[in-house]
Chains A and B, each alone.
Chain A
């Protein structure tokens, strides 16, 4: 039986399998069709119905289940929803167990959250360092300025600092005003 306990392990292995046996777009289709449109249907309904409060409810439940020990901050701030992840339970599981199958495991999050937020009317500012630290900002489309990246810039500096402190950290991936994994700036 495929279990929930080591889900992140066989999830990552499946990414690798889809990259190997599918076309160039199969993994992105998987995150969109299987995770966003099917598995996370409850998140979509919650966020479309209740906006920022829906995000608070969804991530409140999910982070409680996946990261009961904490290691993150998630909150509404003005017109946006922010998440600062210092110990990602998902990437952390892989790092703890030396699992590294797919090209970029961290991309799976924006792979399903991106299309969800597009449908709900939000754009995303996001950065991750592949070591369990990342930043998320969900901003209503049309609100604020597209070049208002103060929070993202602050987190990029923090992620860079973590990179300097740990030789094992990979490059930092950045997404500005994004709604898809293809919007990665590198």
Chain B
């Protein structure tokens, strides 16, 4: 398993940070609207994640697969399988750690929570010369990555969270 780009002294994140992520979505949606929410995610994908996008561009699909394996190993209670073929990487989220913890904490989950994965990851994939799509949501989903602009998202295939 490859190492994460950012280092920390503990092996996994604190799950209550999912509360803050959910609350941040709600604030940005209220303050900046849906367009602002999408812009925030796309700009973050291109800027904050730029060092990792560069790794993806250089390392191709193997780098994407390695990243998501390391990423979910550092997310508490994640149940995820990453499959890699010559043409695609499939991230099978059997149990989303964020949705799971938000439910455990009896939080009012922002209905478009699962869309953030698409807007953020699509911006990152694009910066790396790839495309990606999300299918499912609300606790379990599949993210697919491919080289080039070959994958097209149907937003209707992303479930609302609750």
Contacts and interface: CB of A to CB of B under 8 A. Distances in A.
Contacts of B83: none
A39 B23 contact: yes
Nearest to A4: B13
A61 to B, nearest CB: 8
Contacts of A17: 40, 43-44
A97 B120 contact: no
Interface in B108-131: 116-117, 120-121
B10 A68 contact: yes
Contacts of A13: 44, 47-48
A64 to B, nearest CB: 9
Interface stretch (A27-35, A135-143, A162-170): A27-35
Question: On chain B, which size bracket covers the interface?
Answer: 35 or more
Interface string B83-119: 0000000000000111000000100000000001100
B27 A38 contact: yes
A111 interface: no
B105 A42 contact: yes
A89 interface: yes
B16 A34 contact: no
Interface residues of A, number: 38
B52 to A, nearest CB: 10
Chain A binding site: helix, strand, loop or mixed by DSSP?
Answer: helix
Interface string A95-124: 011010100000000000000000000000
A65 B6 contact: no
Nearest to B10: A68
B48 A9 contact: yes
A10 interface: yes
Contacts of B116: 1-2
Contacts of B23: 34-35, 38-39
B21 interface: yes
Given A30-B27, A38-B26, A38-B27, A65 B15 contact: yes
Interface of A: 1-7, 9-11, 13-14, 17, 21-22, 26, 29-30, 33-35, 38-40, 42, 62, 65-69, 89, 92-93, 96-97, 99, 101
Ranked 8 nearest A-B pairs via Cβ: A4-B13, A38-B23, A34-B27, A5-B13, A39-B23, A65-B14, A5-B74, A7-B17
